[in-house]
Structure 1
Amino acid sequence: MKNTIPLNQKNLIQLGKFITTPSFDRENIKIGMVHVGVGGFHRAHQAYYTHKLQEEYKATEWGICGIGLRQGDQKIHDVLQKQDGLYTLIVKHPDGKIESQIIGSIIDFKLGANNPEPVIDIMSHPDTKIVSLTITEGGYNFNPATGEFDFENSDIQFELKNPNNPKTIYGFLTAALKNRRDAGLPAFTIMSCDNIQHNGDVAREMLLTFAKKQNEDLAKWIEKEVCFPNSMVDRITPVTTQSDIDYLQDTFGLQDEWPVTCEPFIQWVIEDNFSNGRPEFEKVGVQFVPDVKPYEKMKLRLLNAGHSVLGILGAIHGHKTINACIEDETFIAYLRVFMDKEATPILDKLEGIDLNAYKDSLQERFANPNIKDSVSRICSESSAKLPKFLIATIEENLNSGGSIEFGTLVIAAWCYYSDKGVDKNGHSIEIIDAMQVELQNAAKQTKTDPLAFIRQESLFGSLINNERFINVYSDLVQKIYEDPDIKKLMQNII
């Protein structure tokens, strides 16, 4: 093992003998973006794009200040402060190739959990033009069943009464926007990079709902002045492991306390809708479009649905990981025909996307043996996923007269999976789903009522009334229950 060199600014020259380091002068970078939620995904995605822009185009006005609002952000705050915002990005290719480089786009990090003032100050600073977010779906504080803002949250109730002592993202944003309005400064853009549909629209609706309750005049100003671009983001970023940290030490003699690993694929599609300027991310591969929704639909119906197709069918066959499914020729063929025959025809027009190349890339990504995704994780919470990813595709194909067999087999397999909880060899399947009891109860009635599973209106809507769907589903579910050799059924449909 080599003598290790701690990652920090003063050691970059020495580290540059062993690993790629930032070539730009970080001292001259101004903070133009404030990012809330500095996890692995942000560092593999937006911060990487920003670093690339600074490397190749000297974008000195677009440095990032990371923000943590929760006590749980203390560790990343401490690590990045110690490492001067630097970290290593480890890109793992399917063929085993590994590319590592030190990323320098994060210039500062502030923790708002105990002292909100420095966070409000940097958001209020005239140089800050964008506040971006990766705060997870839970951070948006809406009721998942109704979609309405949750005013029962005790932190929300506190900051409504104490606007200068915020706790949630909404309190911080309104405090900073009020400062900017009062100082005559332009509003910053609020740019969600979370993996939720219409993320900018959701951020806008939730912030305005909060602001109207806190300060009606400010809410009117926000409504008029602040832009909330929708965006579609994509890069598989697994959790950092000790072996990743050890790899850097053994290979480069580099001591990085929190590197990030990711796949080589990366994509970012953003609505070109900004309040106060933006980086020229298009120079480094980001796609700016007038409407993100067709791209969101593409990702949901191909990537997310494709994952579920492999996951549900793979679980019954006995495959444990998604890459194991892709090593099986029947699964590769089935996935591709599903994507070509059922998912692609119902997509909207997509500018600048080669769909065949995109589908090829999905197969390569799913096959990456270094980014192992467990089948049980992909199948988890299928009751929340399949209505958006797969059932909607079946409904659109029923309306257009398109193929439904490939998607319907997955629904029939989901019934068997929910009922039996075992694969075709009798080995137990781990089922994680908020509706597990309801799913199992409905599925267990299948022998006496073949349509029992799809009578769940909250999941399947009016599909129970569609004669064509009923006929296809009844036939497939009967065949699975007679013989759960899912590969044989898949081959028959192909």
Structure 2
Amino acid sequence: MAQPLSLARLASLPEAVARPRYAREALRAGLLHIGVGNFHRAHQAVYLDDLFNNGRDLDWAIIGAGVRAGDAAMRHALEPQDWLTTVVELEPGANRARVTGSMIGFVPVGEDSRAIVDALDHPSIRIVSLTVTEGGYCIDPATGAFNPEHPEIRYDASHVDAPKGVFGVLVAALKRRRERNIAPFTIMSCDNIPHNGRVTMDAVAGLADLIDPSLATFVREEVAFPNSMVDRITPATTDRERAILEERFGIEDNWPVFCEPFRQWVLEDHFPTGRPVLEEVGVTFTPHVAAFELMKLRILNGGHAAIAYPAGLLGIHFVHDAMADPLVRGFLDKLETEEIIPHVPSVPGVDLAEYYQLIASRFANPDVGDTIPRLAQDGSNRQPKFILPSTHERLKAGADVTGLALESALWCRYCVGTTDAGEPIALNDPNAARLTPAALAAKDDPGAFLALRDIFGDLAEAPQFRSRFETALNSLWRDGTRVTLQRYLGGNFA
């Protein structure tokens, strides 16, 4: 009989389930995290749980927070189980479950986010971390620059005492701490964005500029924004995962997390008000975060995009099944080795070819159960960060972009919303309402999709890219995904 997860029932969980070795009542909050999703609970929360299990830094426990409807749903799910989470690591043939207790509270999610501002007023909160997705930073996808005209930014600039967005919350809290002479907290992005620390500073300071230029100066001069690179494949939780947890481990968890065994966290050591000793539990502190970050974004995240769209068009649901398909796997291998990896700068202590082989083996893990729809979502935000920079670099070097243009064409075809077999595809993208019409128009005029300037920028004017894109898209419509991939892998794509 499975047991509902709670502090009171920890001692009676099956012996195979690891649980906190520290007294929960000994923890004190030091970090507030905005955007409590599966990745945060499989990554940052696990590192801190490891640290507390070692008896270290018990004053760095996590308080959860959020500004979206999904954050309210997560809070509702975790509250009855005392903020505990079951994390299942999916080592093939040797799955392991552990209960983490590093989160000790969750700020009520309200429409104006005042509760988060109040929580951030406490001097014990010395770090605010973020996982608000790649699209949550109010930046122009084509330029990578902060967009002061973003509706969320404009609203919060006019409602500084009752903000709705993440950056409005941060600016309001920093403003209050400055007025009360409380040292500012460090802001640490854990999202997959190049130079995520700088991007976060641009958003916070950019909003502050609209409210009070002196506050913006304070942000730029006094608030730390360390860059980071984070990595762990963490699929969405469904009833499938809940059922597996109950059957194999005897636990009822409203929102468990299933993830691969691998995890990595690389950080700049820039925390003026202190930080936990995360290096003792495997976090790498280095001034070379940008190199690790670029490697991961181009090879892993770019690789996810490379398999997502051909697999989706072929009606493949699971990532490991896509990796078992010779055409999808062949496309990934050829694209990575010929067009992506050659333009990834060297990383201290890392062999890029070996890193890619590790990535490919992680994608192929059948126990993870990661899905193609998850990898394919939010393409309008992810393509400009994970794929198009490689395209720009190859064009600048005078190199061919056949594979990268094919990847963009596959995304375009996917945005139509049907598979090759005519089955519907649910396009999960904030810009779906304009992506689909543009993708449909591109069937007759490929340039109609490239005309999305906020995504492609000046690539539409690059003759080689435009030509390769048109050839690929015409082939996808005329012959379908399988024939197109066969032609590409055979070197007969022109």
- TM-score higher than 0.5 here? yes
Paired residues of 1:419 and 1:441 also in contact (CA < 8 A): no
CA apart distance, 1:222: 2.6
Between the aligned partners of 1:337 and 1:419, the Cα distance in structure 2 is 26
The match for 1:444 is 444
1:64 aligns with 2:62: yes
Paired residues of 1:406 and 1:493 also in contact (CA < 8 A): no
Between the aligned partners of 2:135 and 2:405, the Cα distance in structure 1 is 31
Paired residues of 2:417 and 2:425 also in contact (CA < 8 A): no
**Secondary structure class of the residue paired with 1:90:** strand
Paired residues of 1:195 and 1:233 also in contact (CA < 8 A): yes
- CA 1:64–1:383: 2 relative to 1, 3 Å: closer
Between the aligned partners of 2:478 and 2:42, the Cα distance in structure 1 is 46
The match for 1:328 is 325
- CA 1:97–1:350: 2 relative to 1, 3 Å: same
Which of the residues 179, 185, 188 maps onto 1:188? 185
Question: What per-residue deviation string (whole Å, max 9, x for no partner) do you get for residues 367-388 of structure 1?
Answer: 2334444445544555554454
The match for 2:147 is 148
Between the aligned partners of 1:80 and 1:237, the Cα distance in structure 2 is 18
The match for 2:88 is 90
The percentage of counterpart residues that share the same residue type is 34
Question: What per-residue deviation string (whole Å, max 9, x for no partner) do you get for residues 401-447 of structure 1?
Answer: 54544334435556766789552xx544637343222233233147x
- CA 1:169–1:322: 2 relative to 1, 3 Å: closer
Instruction: Say which is worse superposed, 226-235 or 372-381, in terms of deviation.
Output: 372-381
Matches within 5 A, 1:297-446: 297-315=294-312, 317=314, 319-375=316-372, 378-380=375-377, 382=379, 384-402=381-399, 404-411=401-408, 423=420, 426-428=421-423, 430=425, 432=427, 433=432, 434-445=434-445
Q: Which amino acid aligns with 1:185?
A: I
The match for 1:281 is 278
The match for 2:37 is 39
Between the aligned partners of 1:166 and 1:366, the Cα distance in structure 2 is 39
The match for 2:245 is 248
CA apart distance, 1:89: 0.8
- CA 1:444–1:97: 2 relative to 1, 3 Å: farther
Matches within 5 A, 1:58-137: 58-70=56-68, 73-93=71-91, 95-113=92-110, 119-137=116-134
CA apart distance, 1:332: 2.5
CA RMSD of aligned residues (A): 3.5
Between the aligned partners of 1:400 and 1:25, the Cα distance in structure 2 is 57
Between the aligned partners of 2:75 and 2:180, the Cα distance in structure 1 is 29
Q: Which amino acid aligns with 2:435?
A: M
1:20 aligns with 2:15: no
Between the aligned partners of 1:78 and 1:412, the Cα distance in structure 2 is 41
Paired residues of 2:317 and 2:372 also in contact (CA < 8 A): yes
Paired residues of 1:133 and 1:193 also in contact (CA < 8 A): yes
Paired residues of 1:181 and 1:187 also in contact (CA < 8 A): yes
**Secondary structure class of the residue paired with 1:489:** helix
The match for 2:5 is 7
CA apart distance, 1:188: 1.2
Paired residues of 1:69 and 1:111 also in contact (CA < 8 A): no
CA apart distance, 1:346: 0.5
Paired residues of 1:387 and 1:460 also in contact (CA < 8 A): no
**Secondary structure class of the residue paired with 2:442:** helix
For structure 1, which runs of at least 5 residues remain unmatched after alignment?
Answer: 447-451
The match for 1:295 is 292
Q: Which amino acid aligns with 1:180?
A: R
Between the aligned partners of 1:197 and 1:362, the Cα distance in structure 2 is 19
Paired residues of 1:192 and 1:200 also in contact (CA < 8 A): yes
Instruction: Say which is worse superposed, 305-314 or 405-414, in terms of deviation.
Output: 405-414
Between the aligned partners of 2:210 and 2:412, the Cα distance in structure 1 is 45
Matches within 5 A, 1:155-304: 156=156, 159-160=159-160, 163=161, 165-304=162-301
CA apart distance, 1:207: 1.8
- CA 1:230–1:429: 2 relative to 1, 3 Å: same
- CA 1:335–1:236: 2 relative to 1, 3 Å: same
Paired residues of 1:73 and 1:111 also in contact (CA < 8 A): no
Question: What per-residue deviation string (whole Å, max 9, x for no partner) do you get for residues 253-275 of structure 1?
Answer: 33322222222222222222222
Paired residues of 2:198 and 2:227 also in contact (CA < 8 A): yes
Paired residues of 2:30 and 2:124 also in contact (CA < 8 A): yes
**Secondary structure class of the residue paired with 1:274:** coil
Instruction: Say which is worse superposed, 115-124 or 191-200, in terms of deviation.
Output: 115-124
TM-score (norm 1): 0.83
- CA 1:230–1:334: 2 relative to 1, 3 Å: same
Instruction: Say which is worse superposed, 217-226 or 479-488, in terms of deviation.
Output: 479-488
Question: What per-residue deviation string (whole Å, max 9, x for no partner) do you get for residues 94-131 of structure 1?
Answer: x2432110001112222152796764444232322101
Question: What per-residue deviation string (whole Å, max 9, x for no partner) do you get for residues 13-43 of structure 1?
Answer: 2226452111122222221111122222211
- CA 1:320–1:12: 2 relative to 1, 3 Å: closer
TM-score (norm 2): 0.83
Paired residues of 1:321 and 1:374 also in contact (CA < 8 A): yes
